[in-house]
Structure 1
Amino acid sequence: MSFDYDLFVIGGGSGGVRAARLASSEAGAKVGLAEEYRMGGTCVIRGCVPKKLMVFASTYSSAFEDAREYGWDVTAGDFDWPVFRTKLNAELDRLEGLYTKNLGNAGVEIHNARAVIKDAHTVELSTGQTFTAKHILVAVGGTPFVPDMEGAEHVITSNEVFNLEKLPKNILIVGGGYIACEFACILNGMGVDVTQYYRGAQILRGFDGEARGHVAELMVQKGVNLHVGTDVLEIKKVDGGLWVKSADGEEGVYEHVMYATGRRPNTDGLGLEEAGVKLGRWGQVEVDDYSQTSVPSIYAVGDVTDRINLTPVAIREGAAFVETVFKGNPTKPDHELVAGAVFTQPELGSVGLTEEDARDQEPIEVYCASFRPMQTLFAGRTDRVMMKLIVSQATRKVLGCHIVSDQAGELIQLAAVAIKMGATKEDFDRTVAVHPTMSEELVTMKTPVRTA
């Protein structure tokens, strides 16, 4: 049977774009790709990239204060959101153009339309066109989840926050994951009065418990009005904004309420189940180790599979798919020891096991240091850095590393290389410290603070 394409990719995000480019340019496949919104996906258009630029912008408020403590005659005015947003949108347009250009240069045929799956080898576009493909790759990512509740139509999510016409005077952020915490810190740094609700006992579920507590305490110190163990009961539109009543009886009026209560795979209306593709409880596409679904010709990568929802993981999964299907080299994406960073203020960098998970697995030693770093100590800030290593008593391997500090995301990337290579605590100990730095604590902690 002849097909219109060797591969048809649904979704123009990081995973889909990488797979399409490699299949076309390196494997000689005829590739089509459909994207219904903007090329680049969540990460480039409404996720990692604009968020990180907002992080950078938000840190200057404290930087101005520090500069004065260091002797600079600095006068800071108010943050100009329209100026920043205009430049931000221009940068996103530039990146989207690069994604489109690189796909075209690789020989991929782009369809600016929504695609749905009709059967194992057929996709139908919103333009009315229908194409057949030997293989179909689903890479449509995720979408913010908002609970079904009265007043939900009035809230915003991380999709809309980048497009606000003006910064609000105050905002309520609902959620305790990394997106909620990052935006709480971002908007707080930009001068917004931020309240955050989380129904759990502590923010950043899934991260190391000690690190979570450290971040939460510093967020409160910096001005975020954080409430854990509570949730929203009611939302009503009133003069001046949105009236909110919480589970613990508190009431308040906010210009905006932002929900960051998780993301769900973006599979609604895609035709997957009708084509025989098995989905999980939350709509995630179930795949095997090679990203193949229950329909042999259909594969899926990235957040839509709900494995590890990080852009670099989606890119690796897309590349492994091409190796497996188009290069005859069966390759499993490596999901072990994937490092991550939460861009709160300060940041949280993490790789490997948390203390809680490690002690359930085997006897461990915990090395931890908390201290006030030189730069902010001199400026009179009360910030505290935390460096933590989890070590196997039996093998001496470092099972996990957790850092809470400015630039923790940069630091954890380097620590991840050593831990991925199987470094032991003694390997860290033999490494000469770089002085004076915060990170030297990683190689100077000689005595465990506890065993478990």
Structure 2
Amino acid sequence: MMPHDYDLLVIGAGSGGTRAARVAAAHGAKVAVAEEYRVGGTCVIRGCVPKKLLVYGAHFAEDLKDARRFGWNVPDCGFDWPTLRDNVLAEVDRINGAYTETLTGHGVEIILQRATVTGPNRVRLADGAEKTADRILIAVGAHPAVPECEGHEHGITSNEAFHLPAIPKRILIAGAGYIANEFAGIFHQLGAHVIIANRTQDILRGYDLQIRDRLLQISMMKGLEFRFDAAFQGIEKGIDGCFTVRMANHEPATVDLVMFATGRVPNTRSLGLENAGVELDAKGAVKVDADNCSTCPSIYAVGDVTNRIQLTPVAIREGQAFADTIYGGKPCRVDYDCVPSSVFSHPPIGAVGMTESEARQKLGSVKVYSSDFRPMKNVLAGRTERALYKMVCDGETDRVVGIHLIGPDAPEIIQAAAICVKAGLTKAQFDATVALHPTMAEELVLLR
């Protein structure tokens, strides 16, 4: 048999694909990455990185007002969206270049074309060329879901939000997950009236109920409008360019922009995976085993395309584990227990481990400790919004099984807290740690 062109051909240059390609090449494999758009993937190009930069920009709306209470003579400030937008996009370009240099610096060949699978060891590029590899790694990620309703073509998704010509005066966001709540906070702070319309009665499904309720309370206090049990029925564009959204159980809403944040769908459509016998689940995700191998022995998958946990750090861990196992002689698997997560809402949320409800269902005996307080900065700034910290413990062993926070810097604090939960520490060990005062994080060792 003729040798294959590559030891490994990765389809998709996002977080998981680039990590797998770089590490495999460092282990001595001949690697190529096929990417139809830009190196960096969703997180770098149209996801968590540019979104977090917008969150930083939006925070200045309140920070500038608060500064007056701290003695700064801050005048009324205007906001220029094109400046923030263009600076964010320039940073995306910089990171795209850095990712590209990292791959090429490790000897990875980058093929800037779409690749589709034509067999267990073969792909076809957009220009018609065919390439072969001992193994193929599918790391194509996912894309925003758009509801099937009349006029859905008038809406945008988070992909387009970074390129808007102007901030709308009125925006309706469909969905109530982390993407919806993050962009709601961004648009609100930048001056838009925000309506969140959700087909169910819940926001942030999967997060602790008390934390969700606190975010809803604060968001409504700030002026965000929520419509629940509001399944989309259609969108009509008026002659004035505005959009009228019809939804169940509510009066129509007229806005300047409609944004869909209704989940994400694995990018497996038209990828040709059926040509290699790769099975997909009901949502179109690649079925893989604990070693990221699909139902075709030569084809693997990592990241959002597998629909396990759609988080960038998880995709990176999966890519690392794949490369170390296959090419590094260091078999390892990703542990999906106690993966921390955050919502960069306004205020932000951090969470790790079981919610109170999950713990009661799984453990039976549960002890819950909490602290409901006004952050020091909010007190002097004259803001009434309160932070909420919550610790969930196994009632029999005292082991901390979940920590849930909402308040300033919650995502920064949850990273260290996640180490404690992952290590199986007890409430007594938290109590035995001296507090660092005055900080927000000290509440974690003072919970009663």
TM-score bracket for the superposition, by shorter chain length: over 0.9
Match of 1:439 in 2: 441
Q: Secondary structure at the match of 1:20?
A: helix
Superposition map of 1:177-188 within 5 A: 177-188=177-188
- Residue 422 (structure 2) pairs with residue 420 (structure 1): yes
Aligned to 2:319: 318
- 8 Å Cα contact 2:25-2:31 kept in structure 1: yes
Where do residues 174-213 of structure 1 align in structure 2 (5 Å cutoff)?
A: 174-213=174-213
Q: What is the match of residue 5 of structure 1? A: 6
| Counterpart for residue 383 of structure 2 | 381
**Partner residue, 1:351:** 352
2:393 maps to: 391
Aligned residue type for 1:142: A
Question: Within 1, Cα distance between the matches of 2:229 and 2:250?
Answer: 12
SS of residue in 1 equivalent to 2:246: strand
Deviations 1:305-355 (A, max 9, x none): 000110000000000001111123321112111101000011010000011
Structure 1 counterpart of 2:108: 108
Q: Aligned pair count?
A: 445
- Structure 1 segments unaligned to the other structure (5+ residues): 447-452
8 A Cα contact 1:276 1:295, kept in partner: yes
Is residue 159 from structure 1 mapped to residue 159 from structure 2 by the alignment?
yes
Structure 2 residue corresponding to 1:409, chosen from 408, 411, 419: 411
Q: Which amino acid aligns with 1:33?
A: V
1:10-49 residue pairs with structure 2 within 5 A? 10-25=11-26, 27-49=27-49
Cα distance between partner residues in 1 of 2:295 and 2:241: 51
User: Which amino acid counterpart does residue 411 of structure 2 have in structure 1?
Assistant: G
Q: What is the distance in 2 between the residues matched to 1:274 and 1:76?
A: 61
| Residue equivalent to 2:127 | 127
Aligned equivalent of 2:361: 360
Answer yes or no: is the 8 Å Cα contact 1:377–1:383 preserved in 2: no
Aligned to 1:214: 214
Report if the CA contact (8 A) 2:173-2:184 is conserved. yes
Which residue in 2 is equivalent to 1:76? 76
Instruction: Answer whether contact 2:13 2:41 (CA < 8 A) is retained.
Output: yes
Superposed structure 1 runs of 4+ greater than 4 Å apart: none
Deviations 1:201-245 (A, max 9, x none): 120001111111111111111221122222222210102311112
What CA distance in whole angstroms lies between the structure 2 residues aligned with 1:223 and 1:40? 36
Whether contact under 8 Å (1:349, 1:412) holds in the other structure is yes
Which stretch shifts more, 8-17 or 195-204?
Answer: 195-204
**Amino acid corresponding to residue 288 of structure 1 in structure 2:** D
Q: Is the 8 A contact 2:11 2:115 kept in 1?
A: yes
Using the alignment, how far apart are the partners of 2:31 and 2:406 within structure 1?
43
Gaps of 5+ in 2: none
Q: Supply the distance in 1 between the matched residues of 2:40 and 2:223 (Cα, whole angstroms).
A: 34
Name the counterpart of 2:169.
169
Write out per-residue CA displacement over residues 23-55 of structure 1, whole angstroms, 9 at most, x where no aligned residue: 002x10000100000110000000000000000
Query: 1 CA distance for matches of 2:72 and 2:228?
Result: 39
Q: What is the distance in 1 between the residues matched to 2:362 and 2:420?
A: 21
The Cα of 1:252 is off from its aligned counterpart by 2.1
Q: Identify the residue that residue 304 of structure 1 maps to in structure 2.
A: 305
8 Å contact from structure 1 (residues 202, 213) kept in 2:
no
3-state SS in 1 of match to 2:207: coil
The match for 2:331 is 330
1:249 deviation in Å? Answer: 3.2
Over aligned residues, Cα RMSD in angstroms? 0.9
Query: Is the Cα contact below 8 Å between 2:180 and 2:261 reproduced in 1?
Result: yes
User: Is contact 2:144–2:262 with CA below 8 Å preserved after alignment?
Assistant: yes
Counterpart for residue 149 of structure 1: 149
1:203 and 1:228 in contact (8 A); partners too: no
* TM superposition score normalised by structure 2: 0.98
Whole-angstrom CA distance in 2 between matches of 1:72 and 1:228: 41
1-side partners of 2:54 and 2:223: how far apart? 18
Q: Check the 8 A contact 1:34/1:113 in 2, yes or no.
A: yes
State how 1:252-263 maps to structure 2 within 5 Å: 252-263=253-264
Please give the alpha-carbon distance, in whole angstroms, between the structure 2 residues aligned to 1:232 and 1:377.
40
CA distance in 2, matches of 1:307, 1:178: 17
Deviation per CA, 1:87-135, whole angstroms, max 9, x where unpaired?
Answer: 1111111100011111000000000000000000001110211100000
- The farther-off stretch of 175-184 and 242-251 is 242-251
8 Å Cα contact 2:149/2:232 also seen in 1: no
Instruction: Read off the aligned partner of 1:220 and give its amino acid letter.
Output: M
In 1, distance between residues paired with 2:250 and 2:376?
42
Deviation at 1:165, TM superposition (A): 1.0
Task: Give me the identity figure in percent.
Answer: 49
**What do residues 111-163 of structure 1 show as CA deviations (whole Å, max 9, x unaligned)?**
00000000000011102111000000000000000111110111000001101
How far apart, in 1, do the equivalents of 2:296 and 2:233 lie?
42
Name the SS of the counterpart of 2:339 in structure 1.
coil
Query: 1:200-279 counterparts in 2 under 5 A?
Result: 200-238=200-238, 239-279=240-280
